[in-house]
Structure 1
Amino acid sequence: MPRDTLTRDQIVGTAVELLDAEGLEGLNMRALGKRLDSAATAMYWHVKSKDNLVLLATDQVWSGLALPDVDAVGWRAAAAAMAADLYRMFTRHPWLVQVFAAHIAYGEGKARHDDHHLAVYEAAGFSPEQADQAAAAVFTYALGNAAGSAAAASHARRIAKDGAGAEERLRDAMAEAREIAMGYPHLRARLETPAADYAAAPESTFEFGLQALLDGLERQLPR
């Protein structure tokens, strides 16, 4: 595709698809150009650099998050909805977890979301400083819960790329981890549950922890 027929939106949208498939380590201008049937140099014309492309892709995904009407549903329902939306975003696009370890993420879409997130907690009655703390606590909770999905996606890519060798290494590591866990009674009791699988957790773990977190925040509100 010639440079003058490409648009930045096309490039960024295709970058998101590539990141979903290959992770942050799989994004490069050559692979992106191949998907767009264009030269790698044409990518730089529109997006300047790989780092800038990562920011643009991140912000495009962030722009898709919903902003619930706090006046219509109340602060707690709005906070829960935004937290669940963040968690779904991170698990649907596991490379975003990698982005926060390697990049400073910002952009119009993220600013729009973050501003509304703060407004939800201020509507609840928190001071601006407390709203910052509450929003940060919920955000890091969603991000942390998605780390397991990001790790599982990374291992799946490694197995797909390296084949039996990577699968065998994971199997050996899990076997060794199970052997160590046998020496600890609470871990031993869970070895035959779904939570013992790699990067797994009991069903509804996110929802359980989120409600506990919101309960704690609610108790901090001025009476």
Structure 2
Amino acid sequence: MVKKARGVQRREDSLSRERIIEASIELLDSSGESGLTFRALAERLATGPGAIYWHVENKSDLLSAACDAIVARTMDAPLPSATPREAIRALALGMFDAIDDHPWVGSVLARDPAQLPMVRMLERIGQQIRALDVPDDAQWTTVSALLSYILGVSGQNAANAQIARERDADRSHFLDEVASVWSQLDPDDYPFARSVAKQLRDHDDRADFLAGIDLILLGIESAHGR
């Protein structure tokens, strides 16, 4: 009995908030938010739910912590010798890829905009906006526009990928289906949608995302005389 008690104690002593968060990320990636339960997490960590509650308060706390871990890795990535413009592009693309790899991150950020993950992005991108010499009274709206674009497009890209998976279709097949629908729209009511249907089939999501970032940066630089 003594040996068993010591074994349990060692297991619980080795359980850390970091281990719990990493295991949560794995569950979220494989099963989505519905798959993240304290029972499933306890099984993965070979411990009891009670031991997990020593480190996290509830599922909301766990989701926020897991989201923050992903955002922190992205925002803290080294950017040696990068200009402010290059840094913003790298940070934006990093978040695009992170949300593509972890689709649940976008929904957690949308539900919890006041928590640390969002503040991390605000701070890191805001520092680069300051380095671009954007006036103080324009910094908030400038950062807000960038964050809205980054999170909106990244979230939509992840949602599109999820729809394709639910239909058991690969990306090219999914886009081909959408393009076929667009090309058959009424030419009088939807001339533009019909005209870009072929481009939809062949477009690159990451390249399009970066093109949008470049347009925003161009507008920022133009508006402030750079």
Q: What's the TM-score bracket when you normalise by the shorter of the two chains?
A: 0.7 to 0.9
Match of 1:60 among 69, 72, 76: 69
Q: Residue in 2 aligned with 1:188?
A: 194
Give the deviation of 1:126 after TM superposition. 1.1
Q: What is the DSSP-based 3-state SS (H/G/I as helix, E as strand, rest coil) of the residue aligned with 1:64?
A: helix
C-alpha RMSD of matched pairs (Å): 3.2
Whether 1:125 and 2:128 are equivalent positions in the alignment is: no
Amino acid at match of 2:127: A
Which of 203, 207, 212 is the equivalent residue of 1:209? 212
User: Is 2:146 the counterpart of 1:134?
Assistant: no
- Structure 2 CA distance for partners of 1:152 and 1:214, relative to 1, 3 Å: same
Structure 2 stretches lacking a partner, 5+ long: 1-7, 169-173
Counterpart in 2 of 1:148?
Answer: 156
Paired residues of 1:97 and 1:147 also in contact (CA < 8 A): yes
Equivalent position SS for 2:224 = coil
Structure number with bigger Rg: 2
**Mapped pair 1:26 → 2:31:** no
Query: Which runs of structure 2 are paired with 1:1-223 in the superposition (5 Å)?
Result: 2-65=11-74, 66=77, 68=79, 72-104=81-113, 106-107=115-116, 111-155=119-163, 158=166, 178=181, 182-183=185-186, 184-191=190-197, 193=198, 195=200, 204-222=207-225
The alignment-based identity, stated in percent, is: 28
1: CA distance between counterparts of 2:110 and 2:121? 20
What TM-score does the superposition give when structure 1 sets the normalisation length? 0.76
Name the CA shift for 1:188/1:114 in 2 (closer, same or farther; >3 Å).
closer
- Against the structure 1 CA distance between its residues 112 and 209, is the aligned structure 2 distance closer, same or farther, given a 3 Å change threshold? closer
Normalising by structure 2, we get a TM-score of 0.75
Local SS of the residue matching 1:207: helix
Tell me the amino acid that sits aligned with residue 142 of structure 2. Answer: A
CA deviation map 1:138-172 (0-9, x unaligned) = 12111111123321344366568xxxxxxxxxx9x
Range moving further from structure 2, 17-26 or 51-60: 17-26
Distance 1:104 1:39, change over 3 A: farther
